[in-house]
């Protein structure tokens, strides 16, 4: 048995205490997250219901919050409320953000539970930041948010239900869906029923990248947040066969507007009918006019340029099937 002098034990103890103390400063940075708020195009005109997307963001101390300007004019983002201009910038000032540029909200010391902000140039543009780990932000009920499944595949839906405090019946909520990089994927808006409950469905056809998705239920004043997660796999419900190269020629024609939407849908119908792309059931194109979402066309154009995979391209076709542009 080896015996060490007392001085060794003293140094060892000092070393362990130092490591523990250092971890208090290092670990929060490791788990810190980054959130992005987008200024919507046209926000300066005052016609949009929501200038910032999302307009309510829950964050933890140590997180980074960015604001990206997708509008065509400059915006000056600062803390404050429209009716109190003397207090603009009291807590933070992100400065003037030019179009297509972004800025970090300088929240070095988080002492409050929430912060309101606005555009000083266009003061009708308002938003709110609130700290997610404070007592006031926690739901009072045992089941404020529940998912019917935690592992889903492409084409499956996720049902989100829950009940909040009775005081919030009839009030509005936002259900925010984020991907692994905290990129906002969608916001579902609703109101609690007379029992302060709700039920929403997340359509996984809008999801592309596999991974862990966050579902944040944001509601009440002061703001509260309930969180849940689900794992998403983008394995296609369609048979995953190789897509013939000539189909990209058709896609290129559609992307360059040389053929109309209806002609592209007819081409898809031909491919499905001839089992170039296999589906679980036979489908047909409905004759009435149907608008194809921009993101489906964007995916198709990216695929025709070899910038996304066959699976991501097929996911757009799945969306058309599930939303009725192509129906069984």
pLDDT of residue 277: 59
CA-closest candidate to residue 94, choices 102, 86, 103, 85: 103
pLDDT of residue 134: 92
187 and 276 share one domain: no
Total number of domains constituting the chain: 3
pLDDT of residue 101: 97
Contact 266, 282 (CB under 8 A): no
| Residue that finishes a domain, picked among 72, 100, 131 | 131
206 and 184 share one domain: yes
pLDDT of residue 316: 66
pLDDT of residue 303: 83
Contact 22, 38 (CB under 8 A): no
83 and 54 share one domain: yes
CA-closest candidate to residue 301, choices 279, 282, 286, 316: 316
Q: How far apart are CA 66 and CA 44, in angstroms?
A: 19
227 and 251 share one domain: no
Q: Is 155 left (phi over 0), alpha (psi -120 to 50) or beta?
A: left
Q: Is 283 domain-assigned? A: yes
| Residue that finishes a domain, picked among 82, 103, 131 | 131
63 and 122 share one domain: yes
162 and 87 share one domain: no
pLDDT of residue 152: 86
pLDDT of residue 285: 54
CA-closest candidate to residue 75, choices 47, 100, 108, 50: 100
106 and 147 share one domain: no
Task: Name, in order, each residue with C-beta under 8 angstroms of 132's C-beta and a sequence gap of 6 or more.
Answer: 58, 59, 60, 225
| Residue that finishes a domain, picked among 205, 233, 261 | 233
Q: Is 1 domain-assigned? A: no
CATH number, domain of 222, equals: 2.60.40.10
pTM beyond 0.85, yes or no: no
Q: What residues make up the domain containing 110?
A: 34-131
CATH number, domain of 51, equals: 2.60.40.420
Q: Is 123 domain-assigned? A: yes
Q: Is 21 domain-assigned? A: no
273 and 296 share one domain: yes
Task: Please report which helix (H) or strand (E) contains residue 49, including its range.
Answer: none
What is residue 174's three-state secondary structure? strand
Which residues of the chain form beta strands (DSSP E)?
34-39, 52-53, 56-59, 64-69, 75-79, 93-97, 102-104, 114-119, 126-131, 146-147, 151-153, 157-163, 172-178, 184-191, 197-203, 211-219, 224-233, 284-285, 326-327
Q: What is the pLDDT tens value at each position of the chain, 328 positions in all?
A: 445 455 544 544 544 444 444 444 444 455 689 999 999 999 999 898 899 999 999 999 899 999 999 999 999 999 999 999 999 999 999 999 999 999 999 987 888 999 999 999 999 999 999 999 899 999 999 999 999 988 888 778 899 999 999 999 999 999 999 999 999 999 999 999 999 999 999 988 888 888 999 999 999 999 999 999 999 987 654 444 456 677 788 888 888 888 888 878 777 777 777 666 555 554 555 544 556 777 778 878 888 888 877 766 776 676 666 556 555 4
Burial of 218 (0-12, 13-18, 19+ CB in 10 A): buried
Q: Is 25 domain-assigned? A: no
214 and 258 share one domain: no
What is residue 150's three-state secondary structure? coil
229 and 257 share one domain: no
272 and 314 share one domain: yes
61 and 121 share one domain: yes
């Amino acid at each position: 048995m080896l015996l060490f002098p007392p001085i060794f034990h003293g140094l060892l103890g000092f070393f362990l205490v130092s490591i523990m103390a250092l971890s208090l400063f290092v670990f929060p940075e490791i788990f810190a997250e980054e959130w992005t708020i987008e200024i919507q195009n046209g926000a300066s005109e005052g016609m949009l219901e929501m200038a910032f997307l999302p307009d309510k963001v829950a964050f933890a101390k140590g997180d980074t919050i960015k604001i990206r300007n997708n509008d065509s004019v400059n915006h000056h983002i600062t803390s404050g409320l429209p009716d109190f201009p003397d207090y603009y910038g009291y807590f933070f000032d992100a400065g003037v953000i030019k179009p297509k540029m972004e800025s970090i909200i300088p929240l070095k010391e988080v002492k409050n539970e929430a912060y309101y902000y606005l555009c000083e140039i266009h003061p009708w543009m308002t938003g709110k930041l609130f700290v997610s780990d404070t007592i006031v932000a926690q739901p009072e009920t045992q089941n404020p948010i529940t998912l019917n499944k935690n592992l889903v595949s492409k084409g499956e839906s996720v049902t989100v239900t829950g009940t909040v405090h009775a005081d919030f019946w009839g009030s509005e909520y936002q259900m925010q869906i984020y991907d692994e990089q905290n990129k906002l994927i969608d916001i579902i808006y609703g109101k609690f029923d007379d029992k302060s409950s709700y039920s929403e469905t997340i359509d996984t056809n809008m999801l592309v990248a596999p991974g862990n998705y966050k579902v944040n239920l944001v509601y009440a004043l002061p703001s509260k947040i309930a969180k849940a997660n689900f794992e998403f796999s983008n394995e296609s419900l369609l048979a995953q066969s190789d897509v013939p190269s000539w189909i990209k020629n058709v896609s290129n024609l559609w992307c360059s507007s040389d053929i109309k939407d209806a002609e592209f849908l007819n081409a898809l119908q031909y491919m499905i009918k001839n089992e170039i792309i296999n589906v679980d059931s036979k489908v047909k194109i409905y004759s009435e006019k149907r608008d194809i979402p921009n993101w489906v066309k964007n995916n198709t154009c990216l695929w025709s340029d070899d910038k996304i995979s066959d699976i991501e391209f097929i996911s757009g076709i799945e969306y058309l099937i599930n939303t009725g542009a192509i129906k069984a």
